[in-house]
Structure 1
Amino acid sequence: MGQKWSPKGKHCYVTGASQGLGLCTALQLVREGASVSVVARDRAKLEAALTQLETNRISPSQKLTIYSYDLSTAAGAQQALQAACELFGGQAPDAVFLCAGASRPVFFVEATEDDFKGQIETIYYTALWSSWAAAKLMARQKVHGKIVLVSSTLGLMSFVGYSAYAPMKFALRGLADTLYSELLLYGIGVHIFFPCGMFTPGFEEENKTKPGITKKIEEEDHPMQPDVAAAVLLKGVKNGTYSIAADFNTKVFRATTQSSSPYGNLAVKFIFEVIGWFGVAAWRRGVDNSIRKYASEHDAYLKQKGFFDKPPHAA
């Protein structure tokens, strides 16, 4: 656990905040008295988000602004941050919440080059370039701010269907662990959030391409409402928690895969580890058995799609 933190009176910069977790996080920050800069690509969604932010402000002194930028490039991330800071005299934000990202589950052998490149850009690069820009600005100005990355339960474990998505969420954990260590040099706090599935427009979109076996494995899961997940995220950041998990299953996976990542209460971690020793192994066996049983159905699916009719080296 780190020091307690409050967003009241602070400038919070939130990416991917035109909908879903990002928007809910921005709304809760506004309700707690923060000035909030929201960044996303879709201008129409940003305008709608700004209307919601305005109706939730608690003080006329709060500065609520929206910016449309492509954050998947270093230049775009730099320009977006610079634009957001102009209203504050060029001062770095007090906290940066990196919520941008989307999932497109597909079978590995059916995925296209664009599927992989797209997930790298929308998940990893959007977080990398924004955290890079923010860290440099905070370090130069000696602002002891916060950088908050958003991974996923699928940044701790994975299974069929998520070959393009999960590796990028794993990568964010590696980035966060490294930044947590290195940014101690500048007094900058780093946090990472591992939410489970959420009922968002993005969740609805990913279900359009999600393989049937993936849906079957997930049928016992209980997705969260994004406002509930946002509340968990902010509680963790306010309490100074480095690794934040929103539900029981994610806490088990986190405990069994934590390695040298910073952790909080050792007793609680040990309890979840013990549960994981038995529970995760049983879960894995069950998942693998489901996939094996699905193999013949999958073979028929690939035949129907003409997969086997393509040349061996076809893309």
Structure 2
Amino acid sequence: MATHLVTGAGSGIGAAVADRLHARGDRLLLVARNEERAAQLGSRYPGATTLVADLADAAAVTALELPDRLDSVLHVAGVVDLAPVSDLEPAQLREQLDVNLVAPLLLTRQALPAVRGARGLVLFVNSSAGLVASAGWSAYAASKFGLRAAADALRAEELPHGVRVSTVFPSRTATPMQQKVHEQEGGVYDASRWIRPETVADTILHVLDLPADATIPEVTVRPLVQRPGT
């Protein structure tokens, strides 16, 4: 039975990934930001282990106790708060950098001995904003550009240990985060226009289940519907 450490399983892409893995009988370790969310995850995924840590708290992340073997670490959690640089509050910047960039690096460091033992996978769910930054997206895009760089460095470092490192770049996906983005942009949210979370989850599982003779360093997932103004 494969064992996977997953962040962001409470909703959106993370929930879709956890649904897929739980349904096929894999063992799940799910990081929850508080005890209430941990209880919700425990109820939704019977048999899963929940680990409580606010990803914005570096000390809490580094205090997590992990098993001796992990077949994958799937970094799906993320936060977004749009603002132009002229209006960007320090707390907005700090939270997005901490959750989207610092926490994945610290959690990966904690998990590496276990992933090395399994010759497993570290996968980062990034964003199209990690490839191109638009107005209002400075803090979020900076965190995601940094995450791509971290993944590139980790991939080169862990090659001798047989650890695969992949980044998935989903474009706009029908999640609660996307609904918040539309509200901040002043647009009307229509989930039917965007990628289904399950589609991104299928992409992640394809990367995860790739035979040991190959790796997919990066994959981009985009909706077929054209965005207004493009």
Q: Unmatched 5+ residue regions in structure 1?
A: 1-8, 55-62, 86-90, 250-282, 288-315
Match of 1:228 in 2: 199
1:157-207 alpha-carbon deviations (Å, 9 max, x no partner): 121110110111111111111111110121111111101122222222333
TM superposition shift of 1:248: 6.1
TM superposition shift of 1:227: 1.8
Count of aligned pairs: 222
* 8 Å CA contact retained: 2:194, 2:223: no
From 106, 117, 133, the counterpart of 2:94: 117
* 8 Å CA contact retained: 2:193, 2:223: no
1:116–1:161: structure 2 CA closer, same or farther, 3 Å change rule?
same
Match of 1:161 in 2: 136
How does the TM-score come out when normalised to structure 2? Answer: 0.86
* 8 Å CA contact retained: 2:32, 2:54: yes
Aligned partners of 2:4, 2:27: CA distance in 1, in Å? 6
Match of 2:185 in 1: 211
Structure with the higher strand share, 1 or 2: 2
Aligned partners of 1:195, 1:241: CA distance in 2, in Å? 15
Task: Kindly report which structure 2 residues correspond to 1:1-315, keeping only aligned pairs within 5 A, or say none.
Answer: 9-54=1-46, 63-80=47-64, 82=65, 84-85=66-67, 91-139=68-116, 142-208=117-183, 210-212=184-186, 215=187, 222-239=193-210, 240-247=215-222
Aligned partners of 1:120, 1:146: CA distance in 2, in Å? 23
- Structure of greater relative contact order (alpha carbons < 8 Å, 6+ residues apart): 2
Aligned partners of 1:170, 1:193: CA distance in 2, in Å? 13
TM superposition shift of 1:52: 2.3
SS in 1 for 2:118: coil
How does the TM-score come out when normalised to structure 1? Answer: 0.64
Q: Unmatched 5+ residue regions in structure 2?
A: none
Residue type of the alignment partner of 2:74: F
Identity level (%): 24
TM superposition shift of 1:48: 2.3
Considering only aligned residues, what root-mean-square deviation do their CA atoms show, in Å? 2.4
1:146–1:196: structure 2 CA closer, same or farther, 3 Å change rule?
same
